Amino acid sequence: MSLRIKATLQMKSRYTSQAASGLMGLHEAASQGSLTQMKDLLNTLTVNSRDNRGWTALMRAVEHDRRECVGQLLVSGASPSLTCKLGHSAIDVGKFWNRKACVDMMLPYNDADKASHHYFTSSPLTPAAHLRSDEEDIAGLSSSQYAQFIFNHNGKPLLKVTNRTDSSGRKRESLSLWKCDQEQLQQLKSHILLEVSSERLVFLGFDGESAPMFVILLTDSLVKTVTKASADAGTDLTLMDKSNYKGLLQLAEEDASIMAQSIGLCSWLNMYQYCATCGSETVIKEAGHKRHCLNTNCASQHSVQNTSYPRTDMSIITAVSSPDGNQFLLVRPQKMYPNMYTCVSGYVEPGESLESACSREVQEETGVDLCSVRYHSSQYWPFTSVLMLGFTGVANENSQIHIDENELEDAQWFTREEVVRAITGQHKSMMIPPPQAIAHHLVKQVLLDTFDINSKQTSKL
């Protein structure tokens, strides 16, 4: 390394560490309510500067109820709608900690976009369902120079593995959805015998105006040959399995949604190779969106049957608060990630309303009775191919916990402080699921719903 580059790097590093210590000073001043010191630091620092967890000085001031500092930061241009790395804004922080005065001060400055969506549910693809039944159109699209292809084996996508070394010298592995364009697919075909017949091709839709996206269904032997041919060309591939679920929560959001859609569709195609109505063989139709029974006498051929089209099973998931809004029911299902607590969830049973399913699941698993439930939002969860329907619920007075030990390892009422610390990543021994999971947003919602529900008790925090 030349002396000049070394000197530049040293200057840069000095500048970065000075800026970081200035930022820490600003955040500390905001936390402690040191208005004069905070004003001085604002002369040299940007008001919305964030620390390594994405927190701003405004979030710090709000967390500690430093109203003078909150006022000064807002006047100086602090945004109450910026979010930290876990997706919480200063207004969320204010509601978590029941800082009503601070929240009231921030509301006029709030410019947040209220629209919300979940990870796995932000697909950029336009389905173009009218094209599915025309085999000629689908064949034409699959040979388009703009076509893109992903690969799947029995419901599991092929993923690209990238190894890199981070700034601290540690080796990291990251995953991405492996996509091929037409040229790459032809190169691959020139190395291996890869038949892409209509039986092995699933049309997902258009990415943008003219890029059709397909899934190629691989057999056992093709997975091996494709993986080997790709490794020879310098790209490492792996099939999705339980060991890489965590890595799949780090995908780009649009890729995560395309992957979720392909897993749901391809898992169904794999599981329904025989007709669920009569047991005969089925063949893939409508570019992977239908399984057609080969038995001409089968009832599925004479009426609309949900065995011929992709299934989406429903599961409810519920975040529960106590009637006074000061306690929150969280559970640890068997084999859950260490230290992690989440919401009660379970399949909807035949004949049940969603509300009944919430009450039944919470009662069965924890012994707690609910007096009300309210719908929040939904998220497709690809690892179990279910649509998670999210609710918030309020427990009856004096609900005692009785754990179903077949389902749960633990269930507890947690205080507001414990849950806020966990959701903001500040709890030493307790975690809740990350923002990529609907459970995170439901827990957040019950905290927001119970903001200032009982100011006398909550002001003790």
List interacting residues with Zn ion (CB under 5 A): 275, 277-278, 280, 293, 295, 298, 300
Helix pair angle (416-423, 438-449), 10° resolution: 140
Least distance between Zn ion and beta carbon 304 (Å): 14
The torsion angles phi and psi of 345, rounded to 5 degrees, stand at -140, 160
Least distance between Zn ion and beta carbon 259 (Å): 31
**Closer by beta carbon to Zn ion, 263 or else 293:** 293
Contact 292, 282 (CB under 8 A): yes
**Closer by beta carbon to Zn ion, 182 or else 307:** 307
**Closer by beta carbon to Zn ion, 210 or else 273:** 273
| DSSP for 327-371, written as a single string | EEEEEEETTPPTTB-B-EEEEPPTT--HHHHHHHHHHHHH-PPEE
**Closer by beta carbon to Zn ion, 303 or else 429:** 303
Distance, CA of 276 to CA of 295 (rounded, Å):
12
**Closer by beta carbon to Zn ion, 67 or else 290:** 290
Least distance between Zn ion and beta carbon 314 (Å): 25
Rounded to an integer, what is the distance from CA 308 to the centroid of its chain?
29
Rounded to an integer, what is the distance from CA 147 to the centroid of its chain?
27
**Closer by beta carbon to Zn ion, 273 or else 339:** 273
Contacts of 36 (CB under 8 A, 6+ apart): none
Residue 330's Cβ-count burial label (10 Å; 0-12, 13-18, 19+) is: buried
Distance, CA of 126 to CA of 114 (rounded, Å):
24
**Closer by beta carbon to Zn ion, 69 or else 275:** 275
**Closer by beta carbon to Zn ion, 123 or else 300:** 300
Least distance between Zn ion and beta carbon 302 (Å): 10
| DSSP for 75-89, written as a single string | HTT--TT-B-TTS-B
Least distance between Zn ion and beta carbon 199 (Å): 18
Least distance between Zn ion and beta carbon 268 (Å): 16
Least distance between Zn ion and beta carbon 92 (Å): 52
The torsion angles phi and psi of 193, rounded to 5 degrees, stand at -85, 95
The torsion angles phi and psi of 318, rounded to 5 degrees, stand at -130, 130
Residue 123's Cβ-count burial label (10 Å; 0-12, 13-18, 19+) is: buried
Least distance between Zn ion and beta carbon 303 (Å): 12
